[in-house]
Amino acid sequence: MSLFAVVVLAGLALALSFHGRVYWAWVAPAGFLLAWWLYTGSRSTWQLGAAGLVVAGAVVFGFPAVRRRLATPMIMRQIARILPRIGETERIALAAGTVWFDGDLFSGDPDWDKLLAFTPRPLSPEERAFLDGPVEELCGMVNEWDVVQGGDLPPGAWEFIKSRGFFGMIIPREYGGLEFSAAAHSAVVTKLASRSVTAAVTVMVPNSLGPAELLLHYGTEEQKKQYLPKLASGEEIPCFALTGPEAGSDAAATQSVGIVQRGMYEGEEVLGMRLTWRKRYITLGPVATVIGLAFRLRDPDGLLGGEEDLGITCALIPANLPGIEIGQRHDPMGVPFHNGPNCGTDVFVPLEFIIGGRERAGQGWLMLMESLSAGRSISLPSLAVASAELATRVVGAYATVREQFDTPIGRFEGIEEPLARIGGLNYVMNAARVLTAGAVDAGEKPAVLSAIVKAYLTESMRTVVNNAMDIRAGAAICRGPRNILANAYQAVPIGITVEGANILTRSMIIYGQGAIRSHPYAQDEIEAVAAGDLARFDRAFFGHMGHIVSNTVRAFLLGLTGGLVARSPGSHRTRRYFGQLTRMSAAFALISDVAMATLGGALKRREKISGRLADALAWMYFGSAALKRFHDEGEPECDQAFVDWGCTHALFEIQTALAGVLDNLPNRAAAWALRPIVFPLGRRLRPPNDRLGSAVARALLEDRDMCRSLTRDMYVPPRDEPGLGRLDAALDQALAALAVERKIRDAIRAGKLDKAPGDILLDQAVEAGVIDPAERQTVIDADVIRDEVIQVDAFEPEVFEELRG
């Protein structure tokens, strides 16, 4: 009977835990079974006492009605003491947006079948025609070197942007907009950014968080009819004034204020608000005709019949009103998109200027939080991918064309290493961009995932562009029309900083929101405690306890087997990665729960801990996105090295992040107990090895189709254009010459030819019949264009003195 009881109990715990649930209804019968085993032993005093304790525990915890009367109230009081205090602005932020696949990753048992079955919306014929037509045409109209030197887009480009509807991509057709999908919006920004960061930022800002987005979701019908057609046509140029000197990352701390009072507007006395503000870093601000303004609205005289402090409010303010100072420009890293400060002093406007009317007074923070996720999912992630694709195309060509020691530099292992990072990260980055835009098109407002792609794609952009600069070396640091990477390099800090600086986003927002919003039980527990709802708390808390038990068992077993026993879809090419990501998800969920339990509300201030947990969550998502891309594209053989590199890198980053949490968790006993569960065989995952890196690098250098696939979203200039155009042309010539040069090298090794200087060796090769005259000319043509594309710009002194930036 004793052995039978042990086997039953162990099997029950294992089965229920491994499948992600612990059914508390089984606690009572399991407890009675254990008590019977203890009782039927030698019946010593300790066994009888233990049996009694087990029976008591089984009665208390196995029957919900008893548990809620005897145990849950005490537990609820204790939990209330350690839960983080959530202010009103945090509560609104947590309630905004939706939970998508981040919820699966937080669960410890991701539903891979759901992810693989998800189909992102494809581009419509109209959207594809816009990309192939107006977007290509706009790219051809702008050259970033000329834009930088001129300090602005050319007038023709501005007019083209307005007339072809670039400012109205998110505006419905009924208001004169293009009504594009998120995927199309992202594709437009990606292609533009690969050509001109200035043009891309100019186009993406009106289509991101700002007046149009807020009007669509919250504006009155009158406001929509008044503004949306003019915004779509470019008759009105919008900006959104949120950041001020006193309120950067903490935007809710704004000192911009509006006072409700009566006053005169256009010769009529109306109930309105007198606004005073100072804002800075406002993109399109210097040329804006209408300002979306965030401010704190106060009603000291009670004219609206409510509280004095109504809260953050958003309004649309014509830029030409008396008291507004606008037009000065900042210089963001020399990239000349319009950005600058504006301020207003005693600017009086009617209450009807509030977006959504006076009924929306005080709801600005809610409006901003609910609208943030869509734009943040698209704008900067698209710019980051554009830079990665540009870097990939440049270095793939340059490392083949540029020779040292009679060998293309891409053949050197020192160059292979950064080439592999560039190619591997490019693959993963675009996978995450496409997947997240697809989620937005499916109706999601992925608050946590949008923060992940903004922060980690722009950080990956920094890595990719820096590596590309290293490969280009001297040619990368001499600015001029031939320099393809300098403008992307200058723009990197802009992407890192805006729409939530990455330091803040990583250390506070991603995990700060995710730990509550994406966790299967945490938000229910917090809300139940706040509401004093005992039954809801009981369900959430004991569900949470089951969740912890489940993930403890699963993390240990999956760690022992390297994820082999996980339920993994996919083919033999990817099954191991699905298993390892499932393992890491279970480990992440368990470590998260222990960190929250041991740190409580202090976890908000332990930003190094929360930052590492954000790292783990982000790389789980990126690994998932890479697998999804490989699956959706039919698992092509040429992509294998890239998905292998991406998943291997992601898994190593996750392991590093989780190990960092355990190394630094303040409760050392908890960390000591977790380590053998999460890493029972130690930290066995490794970064991509040299052989895998070499495979990725060789694919970039030798497989033209693969390189085109990795750069398919960017603008490719004509072959006669200095810079990338001529580099692409040189690559084709160099590849043709490589085959001829290989023949000559083979002949030298075979003793048919002696080593000699270039032209002499070619003549001897023709005379010996190793190559024919046409092949000789191929090598000569390749040498000529090689020499052309490795040149850098130089300026006469009087020209140099006039250069901008």
Positions marked active-site:
499
Cα angle, residue 633 at apex, residues 631 and 637 outer, rounded to 5°: 85
Closest CA to 209 of 31, 92, 59, 377: 377
Distance CA 103, CA 464 (A): 29
Do strands 339-350 and 268-283 pair parallel, antiparallel, or not at all (unpaired)?
Answer: antiparallel
Cβ neighbours of residue 405 under 8 Å, at least 6 residues apart? none
Where do we find the tokens 């010539």? Answer: 733
Distance CA 452, CA 621 (A): 9
Distance CA 216, CA 224 (A): 7
Distance CA 407, CA 345 (A): 66
| Bridge partners, residue 247, by sequence | 244
SS3 317: strand
Cβ neighbours of residue 317 under 8 Å, at least 6 residues apart? 275, 290, 291, 292, 293, 324, 344, 347, 349, 353
Distance CA 174, CA 130 (A): 19
Closest CA to 239 of 169, 286, 274: 286
For 323-369, give the DSSP string.
Answer: TEEE-----STT--S-EEEEEEEEEEEEGGGBTT-GGGTT-HHHHHH
Maximum Cα–Cα distance for the chain, whole Å? 105
DSSP 124: P
Closest CA to 644 of 679, 678, 682, 691: 691
Cβ atoms within 10 A of the Cβ of 168, count?
26
The helix (run of H) or strand (run of E) holding residue 278 is strand 268-283
SS3 23: coil
CB 741 within 8 A of CB 406: no
For residue 700, which amino acid is it? L
- Phi and psi at residue 804, to the nearest 5°: -105, 150
Distance CA 188, CA 200 (A): 8
Distance CA 205, CA 23 (A): 50
Burial class (CB within 10 angstroms; exposed 0-12, middle 13-18, buried 19+) of 379: buried
Where do we find the tokens 């010996």? Answer: 768
For 290-303, give the DSSP string.
Answer: EEEEEEEEE-TT-T
Closest CA to 547 of 593, 597, 499, 611: 593
Structure token digits, residue 729: 């042309």
SS3 151: coil
The helix (run of H) or strand (run of E) holding residue 272 is strand 268-283
Where do we find the tokens 């939990």? Answer: 79
Cβ neighbours of residue 419 under 8 Å, at least 6 residues apart? 395, 396, 399, 410, 467, 471, 693, 696, 697, 700, 701
